[in-house]
């Protein structure tokens, strides 16, 4: 990753913050994208060469302006990691509001599509590039016990998008893959996993007997964004402790 430039969304907490720090430690300059400007500025101050790019990805105008800002601050972008995620507070499928559905799709899927389109032009011109879409096991198997229908749909869309972009863009030297996390400890899941009942249920469904922690994804994100995966495209790397192998 030495010398590479990366734009990563959803970096202000949990898995995203860890992945951004891992890529920076490996030598990358990272454009840090999330809504919380103060947190991004704090991270950028700690990570030499990285820049804060605050944006609300539910806002189409903010998304459209983000790539130009990133290129202005970092120069040509080598890697895009679409990691931003929003979930409608555990609402049951039949109770999700129009607003919850729209925000979930805008943040999780529509912004990823727009950023990928923005990334394409420069990556095509240079003849190389890498895109990683962070999906979820909710896109692969039904969860049910933790209601998240539109979230699952948005993450399933990312998997389909990964395959189709790879099919269309690989001839231009652009690799596109997906990272598929299982249950892991983060800001989003902390409250849920504090429940002894839910924690026990998660552990009973994971071969390795525990929820994941952000460091469990270090190797996968380094592999997918680096030249180590130079002959890999259109694939989904599942990091779930064995949940989907049942």
Active site residues: 151
Q: How far apart are CA 198 and CA 184, in angstroms?
A: 13
- Burial of 156 from C-beta contacts in 10 A (0-12 / 13-18 / 19+): middle
Three-state SS at 74? helix
Sheet with 79-82: list strands edge to edge: 51-52, 29-33, 5-9, 79-82, 129-134, 174-181, 236-239
Is 234 within 8 Å of 167 (Cβ atoms)? yes
């Amino acid at each position: 990753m030495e010398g590479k430039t990366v734009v990563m969304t959803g970096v202000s907490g949990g898995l995203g913050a860890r992945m951004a720090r891992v890529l920076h430690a490996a030598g990358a300059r990272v454009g840090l994208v999330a809504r919380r400007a103060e947190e991004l500025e704090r991270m950028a101050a700690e990570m030499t060469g990285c820049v804060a790019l605050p944006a609300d990805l539910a806002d189409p105008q903010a998304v459209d302006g983000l790539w130009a800002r990133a290129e202005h601050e970092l120069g040509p972008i080598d890697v895009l990691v679409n990691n931003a995620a929003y979930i409608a507070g555990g609402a049951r499928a039949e109770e999700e509001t129009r607003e919850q559905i729209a925000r979930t799709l805008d943040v999780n899927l529509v912004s990823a599509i727009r950023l990928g389109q923005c990334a394409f032009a420069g990556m095509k011109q240079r003849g190389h590039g890498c895109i990683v879409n962070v999906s979820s096991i909710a896109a692969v198997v039904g969860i049910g016990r933790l209601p998240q229908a539109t979230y699952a749909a948005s993450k399933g869309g990312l998997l389909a998008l990964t395959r189709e972009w790879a099919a269309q863009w690989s001839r231009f030297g652009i690799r596109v893959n997906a990272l598929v996390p299982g249950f892991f400890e983060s800001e989003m899941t902390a409250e849920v996993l504090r429940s002894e009942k839910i924690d026990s249920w998660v552990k009973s469904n994971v071969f390795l007997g525990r929820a994941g922690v952000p460091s469990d994804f270090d190797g996968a994100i380094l592999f997918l964004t680096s030249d180590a995966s130079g002959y890999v495209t259109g694939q989904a790397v599942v990091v779930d402790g064995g949940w989907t192998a049942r």
